[in-house]
Amino acid sequence: MNKLVKLFITSISAITLALVSFTSSFAKVEGDYIVLGSAISLTGKYSSNGVHTQNGYNMAVERINKMGGVEVQGKKYKFEIIYYDDESNPKRAAQLAERLIKQDGVHYMLGPYSSGLTKAIAPVTEKYKIPMVEANGASRSLFTKGYKYLFAVLSPANQYLEVAIDLAVEKNGGKGVRIAQAFEQDAFSQDVRLGILDAAKRTGSEIIIDDKLPKELNDMAATLAKVKATKPDVLVVSGHTKGALTAIRQISEMKVDVPMLAMTHCDAAKLSKQHGKKSEYALCASQWHKNLSYKDKFFGSGKKYDRDFKKEFGYAPPYQSAESSAALLVFKDAFERANSFDRDAVRDALKTTEMQTFYGNIKFGPGGQNTAKPMILFQVRCKGDECENKVVAPTKWASDKFYHPIPKWSERS
């Protein structure tokens, strides 16, 4: 009896194994479906942005499938995504990428949320020669490692606030400005810092305060006291949502008067909602805004995307969702141009991508970064207690005039 049971178990496991290996060898394209894989932060500290990313992916999958799918060699295919929760943990993300590729047989990947997690996954996709289109890893170091299978639809981190410095110089009559900056010590923020250093050099500006904020820090009083004492022309802050919220809270409490304040992550931090009028005049870097005039045939315009997304998920799409949706448009375009499911053919097609999406123009540079889309800046403006983000730069898309200098706290009601 015992022997029989053993034999039974062995044969069952043998069959399962055979089945698994059989299905996985076809998993890249199953029937009518092109299977993409993604490790995404559904729990842990990145979970809110992870969900924005996932919603962006899902929205695009549904839209593309509904509008005829992807046509390869005369046959129509649909997209399908296998998700795993990476718990906002880089190690876990790398394991899951490995699992997606080796066990699930995924041949095409979508990126996770954040630069840190993309950095953890990229070596894995590179090792197995899996093309990955990512939409949420902006760190410059992703694009200097010579990765051949990594493509990012977003602008790299060093471009985030360069425009702000140019704007300050322009307001200063073309002369260099005095910059105070505080950046968190993480890959992304430090890349933003490098961009500012470049811009300062280019414009002959001087950096008078250059603080690096420890990750655990949630108090910037010392930095702001220095800013008060030295009176710079521009204050630049980047430290994810925590940095943005802390900066506005303490600038308003300490009554720090500075003519221009430039930041990142304002919309992710829901700055205008959480701090209301205190956040007015803050200048924020963004990858995308619904008012931009880019168009495509799947989502129409940014405004239409905004409406559709709201209807589907019940909240206005942050740029993290928009860029994630764009990643799928890029994949569809590449599959159709490659007209094949061969990984290298798809990669080569991705490399020569040149298209417009509702999110912006997309063309990949030699490192895989998107070189065709500029960053935009918006400024928080309030009417009564209602605050809104208005695009002020670059001038081509500006819907409102850039308000400069910021009025002193003593003059603000």
- Binding stretches for another protein (CB under 8 A): 43-49, 182, 185, 211-214, 216-219, 221-223, 225-226, 228-230, 240-242, 245-246, 249-250, 253-255, 269-270, 274-276
Alpha helices for 40-186 (secondary structure H): 47-66, 90-102, 115-127, 162-171
31 CA to centre of own chain: 32
Looking at beta carbons only, is 20 or 254 nearer to another protein? 254
> Count of CB atoms within 10 A of residue 76's CB?
11
Min CB(284)–another protein separation in Å? 15
Which DSSP category does 38 fall into? E
Give the shortest CB-55-to-another protein separation in angstroms.
15
Please, how many CA atoms are within 13 Å of residue 402, restricted to the half-sphere of its CB? 26
Token pair for 291: 């008012």
Centre a 10 Å sphere on the Cβ of residue 293 and count the other Cβ atoms it contains: 10
Nearest to 228 by CA among 246, 208, 201, 206: 208
Give yes or no for a contact between 342 and 71, defined as CB atoms under 8 angstroms apart. Answer: no
Phi, psi of 332 (to 5 degrees): -60, -50
Calculate the dihedral angle through the C-alpha atoms of 88, 238, 388, 165, rounding to the nearest 10 degrees. -140
Least distance (Å) between residue 196 CB and another protein: 16
Closest distance to another protein from the beta carbon of 183 (Å): 10
CB-CB contact of 86 with 94 (8 Å) = no
- Name which of 145 and 228 has its Cβ closer to another protein: 228
Q: Which is nearer to another protein, 76 or 215 (CB)?
A: 215
Cis preceding-peptide flag for 394 (omega within 30 of 0): yes
How near is the Cβ of 209 to another protein at its closest, in Å?
8
Instruction: Give the Cα separation of 32 and 265 in Å (integer).
Output: 39
Closer of 63 and 240 to another protein (Cβ): 240
CB nearer to another protein: give 34 or 224: 224
**250/371 with CB nearer another protein:** 250
β-bridge partners, 211:
182
Nearer to another protein, 48 or 371 (CB): 48
177/268 with CB nearer another protein = 268
What CA–CA distance (Å, rounded) separates 112 from 93? 8
Q: E strands along 320-394, which residues?
A: 354-357, 360-363, 376-383, 386-393
Question: Phi and psi dihedrals of 232, rounded to 5?
Answer: -75, 170
Give, as one character, the DSSP assignment of residue 405: S
Min dist CB 332 to another protein, Å, is 31
Helix 302-313, helix 319-338: angle, nearest 10: 110
Q: How far is the CB of 261 from another protein (least distance, A)?
A: 17
Residue number with CB closer to another protein (10 or 43): 43
Give the pair of three-digit tokens for residue 251.
Answer: 């600038």
Residue 235's DSSP bridge partners are: 180, 261
Preceding omega of 405 cis (within 30 degrees of 0): yes
- Name the residue nearer to another protein (CB basis): 43 or 144: 43
